[in-house]
Amino acid sequence: MPFLRAGGPNLYYEVVGEGEPLVLVHGSWNDHTSWQPAIEADIRASFRVLSYDRRGHGQSEAGPLPGTRRQDEDDLAALIEGLGPAPAHVAGNSFGAATALGLAARRPELFRTITAHEPPLAAIVAGDPAAVAEMGTARASIEAVLDLLRKGEYEQGARLFVEEVALGPGTWDRLPQRARDTFVHNAPTFLDEQSDPDWATLDLEGLARCEVPVLLSGGTESPAWLGTVLDHLAEALPRARRQTLEGAGHIPHVTHPQEYVAALTRFIGEG
């Protein structure tokens, strides 16, 4: 099995396709398999696609706990440099999008383009009353999820997160069994992520120095505060573009892979 061994935890990865390098960074609760619908929507026809399991997820090692998003950023840098060639196109979803943007604020030279779908960077909208009110409801649900995870009730916690935080009521039972199994397997990593005091922050001044093209995408079915995060990011980034995916929510590469791949490839082609 392919693993990157670069001084930190061993990271599992897979590579398919040919062309310019495109690195896919998954969000919370997931692993590299969440990108399979997008890969099967034939993103591999245009790029050399590298998908991987973030530390502690899937088949990758966890490393010392608790981990931090900064460590995830360093892992991403190691993948881009170790499996190259750098710079690379990078697409991230949710926490994976926050990871990509956090690294871009420090090391923009590693990126050709960035596609970021709904990074949950709550700290950068803390001054927006409407966003704060909506996040308060989400935070209460997240605390309930964390309580379940601390008790080892991983499936109940995963279901609550999917239905009350990420995708909406009734969606857990509509997910494929493999997707539900992945959520449950990776449930403990959400506790780890939430223990990092800086998980929701971003160096906007550093990001403003990132001159690479950035696509900021959001779904029409997602919570409004995530759109407010995208608004703030668009103001900070010198070469940002917004994209709205009609009918999609927080994981469009799973629920609307054809539309997601079309938007991503069009953006990279025009960038």
160 located within any domain: no
165 located within any domain: no
The whole-number pLDDT of residue 101 equals: 98
155 located within any domain: no
Strands 11-16 vs 3-4: parallel, antiparallel or unpaired: antiparallel
159 located within any domain: no
CATH of the domain at 18: 3.40.50.1820
Locus of tokens 């619908």:
37
Instruction: Give the range of the structural domain holding residue 117, as residue numbers without chain letter.
Output: 3-125+201-270
For residues 163 and 171, the answer to whether their CB atoms sit within 8 Å is yes
Low-confidence ranges of the chain (pLDDT < 70): 1, 6
42 located within any domain: yes
Give me the number of domains the chain comprises. Answer: 1
The whole-number pLDDT of residue 138 equals: 85
- Check the CA dihedral 250-252-256-260 and report its sign: positive
262 located within any domain: yes
The whole-number pLDDT of residue 1 equals: 61
216 located within any domain: yes
169 located within any domain: no
Reading across the β-sheet that carries 20-25, which strands appear in turn? Answer: 3-4, 11-16, 47-52, 20-25, 88-93, 111-117, 214-219, 240-245
